[in-house]
Amino acid sequence: MTQLALVIDLNVCVGCHACVTSCKQWNTSGSAGPLLDANPYEKDPTGTFFNRVQTFEVGEYPDTQTVHFPKSCLHCEDPPCVPVCPTGASYKRKEDGIVLVDYDKCIGCKYCAWACPYGARELDEGRKVMTKCTLCVDRIYDETKPKEERKPACVMACPTNARLFGDIHDPESEVAKAIAERDGYQLMPEWNTKPANHYLPRRKTEWQQAAEASLSGLGERR
Amino acid sequence: MQATLGSRVRGNDFMNPAFSVVFLTTLCGLGQGLFVMTLLGHIIGAQPRYLLLGSTLAFLLAAFGLIASFFHLGRPERAWRSIMQFRTSWLSREVIALPVFMGLVVLYWLALRSGSDSALVIGIVAFAACVALWICTGMIYTCLAFIQEWASPYTMANFILISLASGSTLALCVALFSDWGLVHLLAYLSVLLTISAGLVRGASLLRNAQLKPKSTLQSAIGIANAKITQRSMGATGGSFNTREFFHGQTMAFLRSIKWLFIALTFVVPVLLLVIALNGAPSFLVLFAMLAQAVGLVFERWFFFAQARHPQNLYYQVVS
C-alpha cells in the first residue's frame, strides 16, 4: 500500500520560508480554494497556511544550535482527526494515504483540530471550513506537468533540498532509504498516530567530529 | 521581533472555551437531569401538572442547547451532514441522540396530555435516549487521548452527576409550583446529588492538578536536548492555532473562576437547600437553582479552559 509523505532534513533546512510561501501561492490559487490572508499590511496580520517554519534554539550557550523546523500535516497512518469528523469531510485516501478535507462537506466544527496533537489543521476563517496540507494532490498527479515537477510545491521550492517526497512504504524509494539510513523519526510517537512524514536529525559536521576525536584523544593521553 | 503572546505566557497554555459549547453542554445536561427527575415523579405518582411542566422545561432546555450548538459551526447550513459518521464519531452520535431524546420527550408529553397508559413506557425509552446522550457527550471529550485533562472516566461522571444535581434542583423549583408532595424528596435528592457531584468534581480537579504532560518540546520536535527554547512560531501575527488553543487569561483569573464555580455550583445550593429544609422560606430554593445554573456556566468554562493541548508546544513565541 502506498503512503506518500514528506521527509524533512533538519540538517540542511536554513529556515528561508520558501516552502511556506510557495505552498500558500500554489494552494491559494489551486483547487484548495483561496486561503485567508487578512490584514497583510496592518497591525495584526493573520491567515491560513498549510505549512509553517518554526525556529528553536537547542542547547545552552555557548553550545547552542538553531534548528529550523518546518511543520505541516504529517498524514498520519492512524490519523486521530479522521474518525472524529461527524460529516466524513475528513478522510484518508486508501490509494496513497493522503489525509484530505472535503471542503464542501466540512461544517467547521473544529473537532478535528482538537483531535490533532500537532496543530496541523487551521480553520480558514474566511471560508469557515477546516484546511490543511494536501501534499499538493492537485499537482502531484497532474499529467500536463513534466514528471520531475509532479511534486508538492514546497519540495520544488526548497533551495537546500531539505524536503524529500515519495512513498515511504516502498523500500526502494528515496524517502524510505533516507529514513532507514539517516534515522528518520516521527513527531510525538507517544500518541501512536504513526505520522507518515518523517524528520531527519542533525548530523555532526566533519569539523565537529574531528574536534571531538582530538579532544577524546587528549583525554586518553592524560 | 519577539514577544510572548501578551498575557499568554508559558504554563498558561490552555484551550479557549467556546461559549456555544459551554451552553450546549450545560443546557442539555440541565434538561436531561430535569427529565430524569420528572420520570422519577411519574414512577412515584406525582401530579400530572408536575410531569407536564417538567417535561416541557426539559424539552425547551435541550432545544436551547441544540440552538446554541449551531453557533459553534462555521457552516451551520450544513449541520445536517453531521449525522453521517455515527459509526466512528461520538460527535455524530451526539447529534443523533439529542434530537431523538427531544422527540421522545415530546411524545412523552403528548402521551401525558392525552392520559395514555403508554406514557410511562415512552418515558422509559426517553430515559434510555437520555443515557445515550450522556455517554455521547462525555465520550466526545474522553476519547481525545492526548488532552489528558479530559481523557478520564471523571469527564463522563462529572457530566452525568452535575446534570442530575442541577436537574433535581430545577425539578424542586418546578415542584414548588406544581406538586408540594414532591418537595421534600426532591430537596433531599438535590442536596445528595449536589454533594456527590461536588465530591467527584473535586476529585477530578485533584487528578488534573497532578497530571504530567506526556508530550514535551523534546517529543514535539524530536530532539533529545534538555534545553530547547522556541524562537519563532513562524508567524508575526496570531493564527487559528493561537486563537483556538490559548484563552489568554492569567492563572489568577483561572483560579478565581475555579473557586467561583465550586462555590456557586456546589456549596451555595447545598447551604440554601439545607436552610430551606429547616423551615426557612421556600423561595430560597429558587436562589439555590439560580446560583447553581450560573455556577454551571463557570464550571463548564473551566472544564474547557483547563484543557492543555499538545499543539501549544509549537506555539510558544510570536515572531
Alpha-carbon separation of residue A138 from A144, A163, B29, B71 (angstroms): 11, 18, 45, 33
Match 455550583 to its residue by C-alpha cell. B265
**Is A165:A148 a contact under the CB 8 Å cutoff?**
no
Structural domain contains residue B1: no
Residue A118 with chain B: CB contacts under 8 Å: 310-311, 314
Any domain includes B159 = yes
Q: What is the DSSP-derived secondary structure letter of residue B318?
A: B
What's the pLDDT score for residue B11? 45
Rounded Cα gap, residues B107 and B78, in angstroms:
27
Q: Shortest CB distance from B222 goes to which of A59, A107, A185?
A: A185
Give pLDDT tens digits for A161-195.
999 999 999 999 999 999 999 999 999 999 999 99
Nearest to B191, CA basis, from B213, B165, B163, B210: B165
Residue B2 lies in a domain: no
By the 8 A CB rule, do A158 and A19 touch? yes
To the nearest whole angstrom, how far is the Cα of A194 from the nearest Cα of chain B? 13
> How much is the mean pLDDT over chain B?
93
Q: How many CB atoms lie within 10 A of CB A198?
A: 24
B317: left (phi over 0), alpha (psi -120 to 50) or beta: beta
A198: chain B residues, CB-CB within 8 Å: none
> Interface pTM (ipTM) of the complex?
0.92
- Spatial contact of A64 and A58, defined as CB atoms under 8 Å apart: yes
- Among the partner-chain residues B92, B146, B241, the one whose CB lies closest to the CB of A117 is B146
- The C-alpha angle with vertex A68 and arms to A62 and A74, in degrees rounded to 5, equals 140
CATH, residue B261: 1.20.1630.10
Task: Provide the domain limits for residue B95.
Answer: 8-318
Residue of B228, B311, B319 to mutate, testing the A interface (most A Cβ within 10 Å of its Cβ): B311
Which residues contact residue B31 at a Cβ distance below 8 angstroms, ignoring those fewer than 6 apart? Answer: B57, B58, B59, B60, B61, B62, B65, B167
Q: pTM, whole model, 2 decimals?
A: 0.92
Is the pLDDT assigned to residue B1 strictly greater than 50? no
Q: Is there a contact between A185 and A198 (Cβ–Cβ < 8 Å)?
A: yes
Tell me the per-residue pLDDT of B246-276, one tens digit each, with 9 for 90 and over: 988 888 999 999 999 999 999 999 999 999 9
Nearest to A131 by CA among A39, A44, A7, A31: A31
Cβ contact (<8 Å) for A54 and B95? no
Residue B40: phi and psi, rounded to 5, are -60, -45
Contact between residue A163 and residue A53 where contact means Cβ atoms under 8 Å apart? no
What local confidence, expressed as pLDDT, does residue A218 receive?
67
The torsion region of residue B11 among left (phi > 0), alpha (psi -120 to 50) and beta comes to left
Our count of domains for chain B comes to 1
Distance from CA of B124 to the nearest CA of A (A): 28
**SS3 call for A46:** strand
pLDDT value for A57 = 96
Q: What's the pLDDT score for residue A204?
A: 83
pLDDT at A215: 81
Angle at A117 between CA B157 and CA B301, to 5 degrees: 45
**Nearest chain A CA: its distance from B37 CA (Å):** 31
Q: What are phi and psi of A5, to 5 degrees?
A: -165, 165
Which strand ranges, in their side-by-side order, compose the sheet holding A63-72?
A: A63-72, A51-60, B228-232
Cβ atoms of B97 and B127 closer than 8 Å: no
Distance CA A122, CA B315 (A): 13
- B220 close to A (CB below 8 A): yes
Looking at the complex, report in whole angstroms how far the Cα of residue B239 sits from the nearest Cα belonging to chain A: 6
pLDDT at B9 over 60: no
Tracing cell 445515550 back to the chain, one arrives at: B132
> Do B84 and A86 lie within an 8 Å CB cutoff?
yes
Quick check: is B210 in a domain?
yes
Give chain B's largest Cα–Cα span.
Answer: 73
Q: Is the pLDDT of residue B199 over 60?
A: yes
Q: Is residue B58 part of a domain?
A: yes
In the chain, the amino acid numbered B99 is P
Q: Are strands A4-9 and A46-47 parallel, antiparallel or unpaired?
A: unpaired
pLDDT of chain A along its 222 residues, tens only? Answer: 899 999 999 999 999 999 999 999 999 997 778 999 999 998 889 999 999 999 999 999 888 999 999 999 999 999 999 999 999 999 999 999 999 999 999 999 999 999 999 999 999 999 999 999 999 999 999 999 999 999 999 999 999 999 999 999 999 999 999 999 999 999 999 999 999 999 999 998 888 888 888 887 765 554
Residues of B within 8 A of A66 (CB-CB) are 231
Q: Are A120 and A72 in contact (CB under 8 A)?
A: yes
Q: A173 and A167 in contact (C-beta within 8 Å)?
A: yes
Query: What pLDDT, in 10s, does the model give residues B96-139?
Result: 999 999 999 999 999 999 999 999 999 999 999 999 999 999 99
Asked whether residue B87 is domain-assigned, the answer is yes
pLDDT above 90 covers a percentage of chain B that reads 88
Helical H segments across B71-152, by residue range: 90-113, 119-142
The answer to whether the beta carbons of residues B246 and B312 sit under 8 Å apart is yes
B73 touches chain A (CB under 8 A): yes
* Cα B190 from Cα A48, distance rounded (Å): 49
Q: Does B173 touch chain A (CB under 8 A)?
A: no
The answer to whether position B106 is within a domain reads yes
Task: Look at residue B72 and tell me whether its pLDDT is greater than 50.
Answer: yes
pLDDT of B15 reads 83
Q: Which residue has the higher pLDDT, B282 or B114?
A: B114
Residue B160 parent element (H or E): helix B153-178
Other C-beta atoms closer than 10 Å to the C-beta of B136 total 20
Residue B213 lies in a domain: yes
